Amino acid sequence: MIYQGVYRTPSLWCRLHSTYVRKMRYLFKLKEDDGICRQAQNSGTFYLFHNLSPFVKKVGSKYLAPQISVAEMKSILGKFKQNEQMIEDSVLIGCSDECMAYFALDLGSLEKSVIESELRGSFTELRKAFFQLDGKDAPLLSSAQALLRWHDTHQYCSKTGQPTQKNLAGSKRVCHTNGIIYYPQMSPVVITLVSDGSRCLLARQASFPKGMYSALAGFCDVGETLEETVRREVAEEVGLEVESLWYSASQHWPFPNSSLMIACHALVQPQPTKISVNKLELEAAGWFSLEEIMEALRREPNPLKQEDGSFSLFLPPKWAIAHQLIQEWVKLQASSPA
């Protein structure tokens, strides 16, 4: 009872809870209550997409993701003679410290160029814009795209074949024929930086930009623990046995679909450390010294052709969790006895 009373008295509510707790409780209510979510849509802001490409503005070498007001949204929909109810197709992706809700909406059914000239920006592939996005925009657009994609591909119940309906916030879809509730999914992926104590192991797939090497990554199989996935992937991809491992951090990753990247460090026995590369998975893999890694960290994350035609080693951009793993490994080397 006290709890409910507090909820209804905003000033007391604000005094009793930190900004973070207030935001989380507010988002929870929006996901649970379509009525409150509808009100939030009428005062919130919108990140726009067109067939899953986010709307961005280029400022110098950076991309910014503008938040479109509900008034602007209504004006755009009016220009296309679309019903304002289309706003309800949006999905909730967060809120400001003042509890103003952020939504994402895909306007793929409307003419792209008209929206672009109206709002003076462009719908740009997320892969192209991702690494030049502002620190706050990248995770928002990444989860927004993942959520919009999931709704687009889960329009029908896989049991009955009947249409499913999203709740206003987009945190679930329901098949009203049999009551099955579908929740957005993501695939767990481990990403592991293997070390032998003095060197670290990096690998590249043929699809990577020339010269880029990263930590080993792999999807979790059903039933596996994270530890089992790390051990299996290292054995599968480079033929080594992990001796010990520890968790570092995690990151949502939008490519090619929605993944939860779980980053770990792993140690293998110092001897033998001969790599046997699984050519079905990787183009190349190798051990790199601290000096080589430090030099690569100073380089821009772009292909750089050398005189002999080969490409200089470069590492994933700062945003990628692989980069953070490498930075941590460098710090660890500096702090551990020679």
Ligand X SMILES: NC(=O)c1ccc[n+]([C@@H]2O[C@H](COP(=O)([O-])OP(=O)(O)OC[C@H]3O[C@@H](n4cnc5c(N)ncnc54)[C@H](O)[C@@H]3O)[C@@H](O)[C@H]2O)c1
Query: Could you list the residues that contact ligand X (CB under 6 A)?
Result: 187, 189, 191, 214, 217-219, 251, 253, 255-256, 259, 261, 281, 316, 320-322
Query: 281 Cβ partners below 8 Å, 6+ apart?
Result: 205, 236, 237
CB 23 to Mg ion: min, Å: 36
3-state class of 250 per DSSP? Answer: strand
Q: How far is the CB of 263 from ligand X (least distance, A)?
A: 8
Distances (CA, A) of 87 to 52, 68, 122, 162, 304: 16, 12, 20, 23, 45
Backbone φ and ψ of 259, nearest 5°: -125, 155
Give Cβ neighbours of residue 243 (< 8 Å, ≥ 6 apart). Answer: 266, 267, 268, 269
In the complex with ligand X, the residue whose CB is nearer, 37 or 321, is 321
Choice between 66 and 218, CB closer to Mg ion: 218
The partner in contact with residue 189, picked from Mg ion, ligand X, none with C-beta cut-offs of 5 to 8 angstroms by kind, is ligand X
Joined tokens for residue 273: 């450390």
C-beta closer to Mg ion: residue 217 or 296: 217
Shortest distance, position 317 Cβ to ligand X, whole Å: 9
- Assign 212 to helix, strand or coil: strand
Would you say 286 and 204 are in contact if contact means Cβ atoms under 8 Å apart? Answer: no
Residue with smaller CB distance to ligand X, 126 or 321: 321
Residue 219 interacting partner from ligand X, Mg ion, none (CB closer than 5 to 8 Å by kind):
ligand X
Q: Which is nearer to Mg ion, 108 or 218 (CB)?
A: 218
Residue 201 binding: pick among ligand X, Mg ion, none (C-beta 5-8 Å cut-off by kind)? none
Using the minimum distance from each CB to ligand X, give the nearer residue, 22 or 204.
204
Taking residues 64 to 103 in sequence order and writing x for each that binds Mg ion by CB under 5 A, - otherwise, the string is ----------------------------------------
Min dist. Cβ of residue 142 to ligand X (A) = 10
- Among positions 185-244, residues that touch Mg ion (CB under 5 A) are 217-218
* DSSP-assigned letter for residue 17: S
Residue 174 φ/ψ, nearest 5 degrees: -125, 140
Rounded to the nearest 5°, which phi and psi values hold at 120?
55, 65
Q: Which residues contact Mg ion by CB under 5 A?
A: 217-218
